[in-house]
Every structure is written in C-alpha cells, then in structure tokens.
Structure 1
Amino acid sequence: MDVLLQCLSHTPLMQYISPGDAVRDRNTQALAQLKTQLQDFDPELIFLFGPDHYNGFFYDLMPAFCVGVAGETVGDFDTEKGRLNIPADIARACAGSLLEQGIDVAISHRMQVDHGFAQPLQLLAGAVGRHAVVPIFLNCVAEPMTTCWRARLLGEAVGRYAATLQRRCAFIGSGGLSHNPPVPQLDDAPADVAERLIAGRNPSAEARQARQQRTIAAAREFARGTTGLRPLNPAWDRQFLDTLAAWNVERLDAMQNAAITEHGGNSAHEIKTWIAANAAFRRATGGRAQVSVHYYEPIPEWISGFGTMSGRGLRG
C-alpha cells in the first residue's frame, strides 16, 4: 500500500504581505504541486507533525510531544477555524504505541492548534476537516526543547505504528526553515507577556488582532531591513534540505539546539517537524523510497526560508 511524504514551510503572513509577483508565482506553483500530489494520493489518514506559536500550548504545561485525540484550529491569521477530523481510536492507539516504543508523548482531548497545522491542511487539502488526521505537536519554540535525534525517534515510532494500518497514510511536516520572527522569550519577557506565554489560551478577538498586527508590522520592517531580527540563512537552509533528502541520520542527529538557534533563528527548530515526518515515511517504506526537494526560496516579507519536499513509496 502506498505512503506519501510532504513537507512544507508555513507562514501566517501569506495573506497579508506580498513578496512580489515573481516570488508569489513560484511559491504558488510549488504548493500547487503538493496539492495535486495529495489529491491524487487521496489519503485515508494523515499524520501531521506541526509546532505551535503560543496559541494552543503554553508554559503552564508544555509537553515535548503531544498527540491530539480531539481538537480544533483556533483560526489565527484568518486561517480556518473548526474541528479537526481526528479518528479518536486511531489517535489513542498511536499514542499508546509510541509510549510502548519508549517515546514519552502526552495526549490531548482538547488540542488547540494554530496556523502551523491549519495552513497546510487548507493549502493542500482545501479544508481542515477534509481528511482524517492525527495531529502530532512538537514543541519548537518554548525552551527547553527536544533534540533533532528525539524528533527522529518520534517519527520512526509513528512510522512503525502506521505500517500496521491498512490505510493509505500521508506524513506531513509543517514548519519553517531559517526564521526568527518576533516571538517573545519567557526569560526576559515583561510580566504581562510572560503571563500570556504561561496561560494565554483563548484570548479576546481584540488581543489576538493586536498581536497579529504587531507580527505583520515586524515583517514589513524586516523586509525593509529596518529591524534587529536575525536575517534568513539560505546557505544553512539548503544544507539542511540536502542533508534531509540524503537522509544523513548521523549529521541530522548531531544538530545541536544552540547551533540551530545561532544559524537559523529562534524558530528554526521547526525543522524538527520535517525530520519527524521524514523519519515516519522512511520507516514506513523500509527506507526504499526516494525523497526530493522541489522548491526553496528565502522570503523576507514572510520572515521565512520557504521550501517544499515530497516522496512516495510502498509500505515496507
């Protein structure tokens, strides 16, 4: 039975700031390629690895990994707000399998996810509830964070579980490459911001809008080069993509968190969603499937190195 891998960057700024017609056209074409792949594949189940940006997970209880048994999107940055189509029995069984394999995951019966999950489902599937999905959260922003090698082990465990299912399974990784958006850090945050990082669920519409406007303003300044945010790092992005496509596990496992922050930015840890999705796919196919990078471009207007990757193969 076929399995599919897709990885893509996401950005909350896509609908707010234009990077120019040429960049937009290349990006649109790359995403359309993934959308066509997913439609042709017609998945019966998607394992979606994604991060959060202090919209659904907070420091009052911050797991390294969490499997959603039931959940919804919060609708930030005009993404679709609604229930995820999560088969609870499969999600619970997946979490149980991961625990039996030595991966300490949390579960959530009220998972809230933001654009990191909603955007890929909308862009590739057309709606957040169109396909059955098991959402798997990786903490990629709130220190202390897990390592690349633990993200790989998580993905491999998901791949082993998926191989037991008689379903067409897709593994999707959603995360940025190099990017350092204005996400506050708990250690030096003012008291009111620290409280939001600790327990900021379900903000008022006004509070969410104000936060989004600050991000949009920061992106415009970043594109003009008038901000202190860390610049994008295309060389680092391309090296990571090459390493991932070659599935150089030794080099991936050796990537240290401090070096990821130094070279890619505070939010570049979202590459761990790509590592987990690749690990799941390669485990499910027995390592016999080819993976290709289709697109990469640094897009300052979106404060992100943006890329796409995919692979398809038979279950091993």
Structure 2
Amino acid sequence: MANIIGAVTTSHIPAIANAMANGLEQTPYWKPFFDAYPPVRDWLNEKKPDVIILFYNDHGLEFFIDKKPTFAMGVADEYHNADEGWGIPTIPPVTGESELSWHIANSIVDEGFDMTICQEMKVDHGLTVPLNLMWPGHQYGHVKVIPVCINCEQYPMPQPWRTFELGRAIGRAVQSYEEDINVVVFGTGGMSHQLDGERAGFINRAFDIDCLDKLVSDPEALTKYTNMDLVEQGGAQAVELNMHIAMRGTLLGKVTELHRNYHAPISNTGSGLMLLEHEMPKGE
C-alpha cells in the first residue's frame, strides 16, 4: 500500500518568495526564519518522497469571491503558477500525480466529501512558497504534488472538525492505494495573524505554541475550536490553521516529532515549522 511517511507544517506568506528571489535569507530580519529549514530539507532529501499532498488556501488566483469551493483538489499532471500581484516571480510548473489524485477523489467523495475536482488549476503562493522553501531554486520538479485547497477566505468556511475529518478520509484513501509509494503531507499557512482591521498585526505566541503541541499529542483537541474561536485567539487569518489540522488528520498511525521552530513576527505572522515522522498502522 501507499505509505504516509511524514508531514510538515510551514508558512506560505508571499514575502518569503520575495526574500528568496532577492537573496535576503541571511539578512537579520529573515535569518531566524530561514535557518530553521535545513533539517527539514535534509530529511526530505534523505527520504525522497514520491508524492506531496499539500493543503493550502487559494488567495484569489484560481478561486475568487464569486466562486469559492469549500474544498477543491487537483487531479492534473501539471500545475502552473501565475502573477498574483505580490511581485513574486512566476516559477516553473509543478508536477502533478493524476492516478493517486483520482483514487483519493473517488474515495473521499464516496465518504461524503463533495470535493470540487479540478482537471486544470492554477496554483498560487499558498502552494508554491512551501515547495520552494523545501527545494530552493525551484528544484521541486522531481516530486509529484497533489494540491488540496481549503476555503479560508470567505464565509461560510469549513470548521476545524470538518477539515480534520477531511484529512482522515484522505489518509484512509492513501492507505487503500495499492501502489507502493511514499507520501509526505504538507499543512501550510500562517498561525496567528491579522492583516487588517483594528487588530492588524495581532499575534498570539502562546496560542500558536499550544497549537503546535496539540498537533503532535492531541489533535482532536483542536477540533473543539470553531473558526470564530480561531479568530478570537489568533486573529482573522488564523483560520489558516485549518490546513495544519487537515494535515494532522491524514496521520492515522504513530506520530513522532523530529523538528520544530516557531518564529514571530515574520511579515506580521506567527510562523510554525514542524517535521513529523509517521508510521502507518498495520493490518487496517
């Protein structure tokens, strides 16, 4: 069967792409952020996963406010980036994985998740920044990517319990896939942050660190939060924690934390990096 060997949480803020494009990684502002990534890169280069399942949210490139699916996933062989208006250079295409994608799509729809299935899909910084963080210099073409997009921009949005159950369903789908491949799951996005309004710049470090702890040892506790709880505790954009929660849902077996870093503020955001090793349950 296919094997989920691990998972990663990472920020995806567009300023990261600009910093990398301009060689700013070792400047005083960025150094504490970028210095945390080599252990995760080393692990990925050692394990050489075949597929990345990447949870992210689209910021208006593919899905705008007039059409906003609750959940969407790509089943294409290739995904293209485009100009989003952030000044980020357009980057090379991302390699897709259509066979496992279709298997997951069929499996989770059978379980009651009404996914929007995308045979063509542009991907924005929510997906491309994490890939370039892990394989700098756009050296990600060798790994196949399955994008799973969660609405975190416009109400109504899925609640944490539902995103966790989506992750569970995807984990079961991977487990039932007969081809012997290794999969790593990315949960991307900011932790606490608010980009506008009266609380612009709000960051709750204690809440972020507690969430990182619970992602390892008690993920079900995070499903007790509502989206409004996340907004109250972590700011308006803290609903992006739903990508971390969905990622954790895919891990059906034993989880071991290998690496962690928390840094704030970075572009007015709390950034949590975590590497989790995963052992798939046997005989299920």
TM-score of the pair, normalised by structure 2: 0.86
| Partner SS, residue 264 of structure 2 | strand
Who wins on radius of gyration, i.e. which is larger?
Answer: 1
Counterpart code for 1:40 = E
1:73 and 1:264 map into 2 onto residues whose CA distance is: 29
| Partner SS, residue 34 of structure 2 | helix
Query: How many angstroms does 1:142 deviate by?
Result: 1.2
Alignment partner, residue 34 of structure 1 = 40
Alignment partner, residue 104 of structure 1 = 114
Q: Do the aligned partners of residues 310 and 75 (structure 1) sit closer, same or farther apart at CA in structure 2, a change above 3 Å counting? A: farther
Aligned counterpart in structure 1 of residue 186 of structure 2, from 172, 187, 210: 172
Q: Do the aligned partners of residues 262 and 228 (structure 1) sit closer, same or farther apart at CA in structure 2, a change above 3 Å counting? A: closer
Matched, 1:269 2:235: no
Describe the superposition over 1:101-123 as per-residue Cα deviations: whole angstroms up to 9, x where unpaired: 22221111121221110001111
Aligned counterpart in structure 1 of residue 265 of structure 2, from 267, 278, 299: 299
Query: How many angstroms does 1:59 deviate by?
Result: 2.4
Q: Do the aligned partners of residues 233 and 20 (structure 1) sit closer, same or farther apart at CA in structure 2, a change above 3 Å counting? A: farther
Counterpart code for 1:35 = R
Alignment partner, residue 84 of structure 1 = 94
Matched, 1:45 2:55: no
| Partner SS, residue 95 of structure 2 | coil
Q: Do the aligned partners of residues 79 and 7 (structure 1) sit closer, same or farther apart at CA in structure 2, a change above 3 Å counting? A: farther
| Partner SS, residue 36 of structure 2 | helix
2:236 and 2:189 map into 1 onto residues whose CA distance is: 13
Alignment partner, residue 309 of structure 1 = 274
Query: How many angstroms does 1:32 deviate by?
Result: 1.7
| Partner SS, residue 64 of structure 2 | coil
Aligned counterpart in structure 2 of residue 236 of structure 1, from 193, 207, 220: 207
Alignment partner, residue 7 of structure 1 = 9
Query: How many angstroms does 1:42 deviate by?
Result: 0.4
The 5-angstrom pairing of residues 1-316 of structure 1 reads 3-14=5-16, 15=18, 21-22=27-28, 24-70=30-76, 71-76=79-84, 77-126=87-136, 127=138, 128-165=140-177, 166-182=180-196, 229-249=200-220, 251-280=221-250, 282-283=251-252, 286=253, 288-291=254-257, 294-300=260-266, 302-316=267-281
1:314 and 1:242 map into 2 onto residues whose CA distance is: 19
TM-score of the pair, normalised by structure 1: 0.78
Query: How many angstroms does 1:294 deviate by?
Result: 0.8
| 8 A Cα contact 2:216 2:255, kept in partner | no
**Any gaps of 5 or more consecutive residues in structure 1?**
185-226
**Any gaps of 5 or more consecutive residues in structure 2?**
none
Higher helix share: 1
| 8 A Cα contact 1:178 1:265, kept in partner | yes
Describe the superposition over 1:163-190 as per-residue Cα deviations: whole angstroms up to 9, x where unpaired: 23320111111110011124x9xxxxxx
Query: How many angstroms does 1:74 deviate by?
Result: 2.0
| Partner SS, residue 30 of structure 1 | coil
Counterpart code for 1:87 = E
Counterpart code for 1:175 = G
Q: Do the aligned partners of residues 239 and 313 (structure 1) sit closer, same or farther apart at CA in structure 2, a change above 3 Å counting? A: closer
| 8 A Cα contact 1:79 1:115, kept in partner | no
Query: How many angstroms does 1:23 deviate by?
Result: 5.1
| Partner SS, residue 111 of structure 1 | coil
| Partner SS, residue 137 of structure 1 | strand
Counterpart code for 2:143 = H
Query: How many angstroms does 1:131 deviate by?
Result: 0.9
Counterpart code for 1:46 = I
More moved, 146-155 vs 9-18:
9-18
| 8 A Cα contact 1:141 1:266, kept in partner | no
1:228 and 1:262 map into 2 onto residues whose CA distance is: 10
| Partner SS, residue 13 of structure 1 | helix
2:268 and 2:51 map into 1 onto residues whose CA distance is: 31
Describe the superposition over 1:129-169 as per-residue Cα deviations: whole angstroms up to 9, x where unpaired: 33111100011111110000111011111111112332011
1:295 and 1:172 map into 2 onto residues whose CA distance is: 15
Query: How many angstroms does 1:80 deviate by?
Result: 4.2
Q: How many residues align?
A: 267
